[in-house]
Amino acid sequence: MYKAIVIGAGIAGIATALRLRALGMRVDVFEANHYPGGKLHAFELAGYRFDAGPSLFTMPELVTELFQLFGESSGDYFEYSRKDLVCNYFWEDGIRFTVNSNREVFAKEAADKFGIEATSLLAYLKKSQKKYELTSPLFLEKSLHKVSTYLSKDTLKALLKMSDMGIFTNLNKLNQSEIKEPHLVQLFNRYATYNGSSPYRTPGIMSMIPHLELYLGTYFPKNGMHSISMSLYELAIKHGIHFHFKHKVERIIVSNHQTIGVRANEKDFFADNIISNMDIYSTYKKLLPNESHPNRTLSQERSSSAVIFYWGVRKVIPALDLHNIFFSGNYSEEFAHIFEHKTLFGDPTIYINITSKENKSDAPSGCENWFVMINAPGDYGQNWLELVTRARENIIEKLNRLLGIDLESLLEVEDVLTPPQIEERTSSYRGALYGAASNSKFAAFLRHPNFSNQLKNLFFVGGSVHPGGGIPLCLLSAKITSELINSVK
């Protein structure tokens, strides 16, 4: 039987294992941690359940089709529902606005709130859809590093329309030109953070991202984000995929310019193909130290990281929902601090995710579980104890002021996650959440391909390689990679 080894049980690693297993291969997954899921993990503190990492669920069909590969119904493993309200937004000037998932309703309500024409906002959203539909077949669903990708009608159509995609301007300039109203410009600038980039540097083509939320929809898994990875793990176990937990891969075994296996826990394991779900930088530096490295790719600017506080709050706050954003009063300065000064800004944008709004059992009665995140630079040796202490004070002061509460007195349990801890737990270089940043119009083409140009039988999946970070793109990387493997086996 054809054998494959997957390094890392993150969601892309599990999805790749499932796709290869559906093709009839024997698949072994090696994971350094004692649990599956990678960043998509969860934990409990004194009766409060927290999703440790990703908190936004879009494009559920990329998950459900993995069950369909085995003739199974995803509903037998996990349930999810579409959200009517996408996110609550709060600004320093006291303005609050809730985004409706129906884009026509959103456009009307935004027009009434901010004094703009609903038609202009709808035109922007329809352009977002058009950009997504034109570029998705090229940038998201196929390898950008295979000549065959560029020999299709869809690719030619997308390339001919590039000048209309905003590729030659940044997202902020595009939004200022097309939306103009400052609050909404900031709202749509936020989508740059979905790939760990700055809206003042990432290309305007990223204005396609709102289409995912305002047309394709946002969803909530019944038992939290962790249920996505756990349901896929359960499916994998049922269909004969072998997981080796607490097996940290020490190196990839190479012979005659091809990979033949891995060494883990002082033992060698052999396979026809090796697929790394590890961060691409760590894969080369730690697992392939003696091989030629793609230094240009590995030296790219890293994406943003995060500082996350997990707070058990002894109160229900009616003004908050599942997703909530409190904007910085100086957005451009916040991103300058992150990407140029490599530090935290004193007035950060705060994201709060509260799953107990949907799943009451995630917190004790009358309480809420707050996942509180601010964007952060990667780990460059900063004094994180000092930075986190100051950030905590700034966050609490801002939330007290904008919500009219005394948050410190309401905190019952607390934990924190920093960029060095993210790197330690997930091997993400510098704690970057999305591998390389997309702060260049050529970023999509500079991402590492899903295969090795130097070593035969070596492939890559996950947020640090094509097509990028976030759950949907990680699942698409698994699809691209499994198709590449199937085409050459």
Q: Read out DSSP for 268-282?
A: EEE-SEEEE-S-HHH
Same domain for 130 and 110? yes
Q: Is 164 helix (H, G, I), strand (E, B) or coil?
A: helix
Last residue of a domain, one of 197, 216, 235: 216
Same domain for 230 and 212? no
Residue range of the domain that includes 171: 102-216
Beta strands in 271-367 (DSSP E): 273-276, 305-313, 323-326, 350-353
In a domain, 95, yes or no: no
Same domain for 234 and 211? no
Same domain for 146 and 175? yes
Predicted confidence at residue 139, as pLDDT, reads 73
Last residue of a domain, one of 173, 194, 216: 216
The pair of structure tokens assigned to 39 is 């960043």
Same domain for 143 and 208? yes
The CA dihedral of 29, 30, 34, 35, to the nearest 10 degrees, is -30
Predicted confidence at residue 488, as pLDDT, reads 81
Q: Is 183 helix (H, G, I), strand (E, B) or coil?
A: helix
Last residue of a domain, one of 174, 196, 216: 216
In a domain, 24, yes or no: yes
Same domain for 108 and 212? yes
Question: How far from 350 is each of 117, 277, 393, 415, 445, CA to CA, in Å?
Answer: 29, 29, 13, 16, 31
In a domain, 257, yes or no: yes
In a domain, 404, yes or no: no
The pair of structure tokens assigned to 239 is 């269909």
Same domain for 131 and 230? no
Same domain for 183 and 245? no
In a domain, 419, yes or no: no
CATH of residue 444's domain is: 3.50.50.60
Same domain for 243 and 203? no
The pair of structure tokens assigned to 129 is 């859809």
Q: Which of 218, 185, 180 is nearest to 327 (CA)?
A: 185
In a domain, 9, yes or no: yes
Cα–Cα dist 188/206, whole Å: 10
Predicted confidence at residue 25, as pLDDT, reads 98
Count: domains in the chain: 2
Same domain for 200 and 287? no
In a domain, 236, yes or no: yes
Residue 117 DSSP one-character state:
-
In a domain, 466, yes or no: yes
Same domain for 178 and 135? yes
pLDDT tens, per residue, the chain with 489 residues:
899 999 999 999 999 999 999 999 999 999 999 999 999 999 999 999 999 999 999 999 999 999 999 999 999 999 999 999 999 999 999 999 999 999 999 999 999 999 999 999 999 999 999 988 888 876 777 776 665 655 566 656 665 555 566 778 999 999 999 999 999 999 999 999 999 999 999 999 999 999 988 888 999 999 999 999 999 999 999 999 999 999 999 999 999 999 999 999 999 999 999 999 999 999 999 999 999 999 999 999 999 999 999 999 999 999 999 999 999 999 999 999 999 999 999 999 999 999 999 999 999 999 999 999 999 999 999 999 999 999 999 999 999 999 999 999 999 999 999 999 999 999 999 999 999 999 987 776 778 999 999 999 999 999 999 999 999 999 999 999 999 999 886
CA 129 from centroid of its chain's CA atoms: 20
Residues 276, 29 contacting (CB under 8 angstroms)? no
Same domain for 21 and 112? no
